[in-house]
Structure 1
Amino acid sequence: MSGKFEPKQPVQLNPPKDDPISQEELTKADGTGEGKTCYVAIKGKVYDVTGNKAYQEGGSYHVFAGKDASRALALSSKDEKDVKSEWSDLSPDKKKVLDDWITFFSKRYNIVGVVEGATNME
C-alpha cells in the first residue's frame, strides 16, 4: 500500500485482538470525561483511539466515538445520520474510501477487538 497512509511519527502497535466487544461496551467507550476510553469501529473491528484528542468529547471526530463509523467514513461525512455500520450498499468508489480509512487506522491505532455479532465485516 502507498506511503500516503504512513503516520508522520512511527507508531508501535500491539498485535491485533479479536476479543468480542459488546455493543454496550462500544457505546460506553465514547471518550466522554477525563481519561475515558475511546473506541471507533470500522467494518466491525474496534480501534482504540483514546490517545487522539480529535475523538474525545469536543473533538472534531467525536461523532464517531463509541460507534461503528463505517458508512460515515466511506462517505467522508461527519453527519450523525451517516454514523452507522451499514456500508455494503455503497458504490465501489465509496468502498475504496472505506478500505483506505481501514489502512489509515490500522497503521495508527491498536485493534482491541471486534463488535459482537457484527455482520458488516466483509
Structure 2
Amino acid sequence: MEFSLQQLKQFDGSDASKPIYVAVKGRVFDVSTGKSFYGPGGPYCIFSGKDASRALAKMSKNEEDVCASLDGLTEKEMGVLNDWEKKFEAKYPVIGRVV
C-alpha cells in the first residue's frame, strides 16, 4: 500500500478502530501490537501516524524532529536510525510506503 503523509496521519492511534502506523525511512510499519508505546498517552505516541526517521536518528521526541528529512544527519545518527529500522523490521510488519 502507498500512503501520502496526510493519509498516514489517520493511523495515529486516535481512532481505536484503525491500526497504528509509524514510518521509518519511508517504509510504513504496523505497530499496533506496541499500542502501549505508540497509542495515545504512550511514550512514543508522537511518532504515530508519521515518518519518525529524523527523530529516531536523533533520539529526539521534539515535534520538529518527527519528520522524514535525513538532511544534515551525522554518520553516527544514520547508524542509530539504521539500528532502529532493524528493530522495527524484527518486531512489526511492513505494510506499505510513504509516497
Give the Cα separation in 1 of the matches to 2:88 and 2:4: 21
Runs (5+) with no aligned partner, structure 1: 1-18, 117-122
Residues 54-73 of structure 1: pairs in structure 2 closer than 5 A: 54-73=37-56
Runs (5+) with no aligned partner, structure 2: none
Give the Cα separation in 2 of the matches to 1:25 and 1:57: 18
- Deviation at residue 89 of structure 1 after TM alignment: 1.8
Per the alignment, residue 25 of structure 1 pairs with: 7
User: Are residue 38 (structure 1) and residue 20 (structure 2) matched?
Assistant: yes
* CA radius of gyration, larger in: 1
Provide TM-score, normalisation by structure 1: 0.76
Identity %, equivalent residues: 42
Give the Cα separation in 2 of the matches to 1:36 and 1:49: 11
CA contact (8 A) 1:41 1:68 kept: yes
User: What is the root-mean-square deviation of aligned Cα atoms in Å?
Assistant: 1.1
Provide TM-score, normalisation by structure 2: 0.93
Give structure 1 regions of 4+ aligned residues with deviation exceeding 4 angstroms: none
Give the Cα separation in 2 of the matches to 1:55 and 1:63: 8
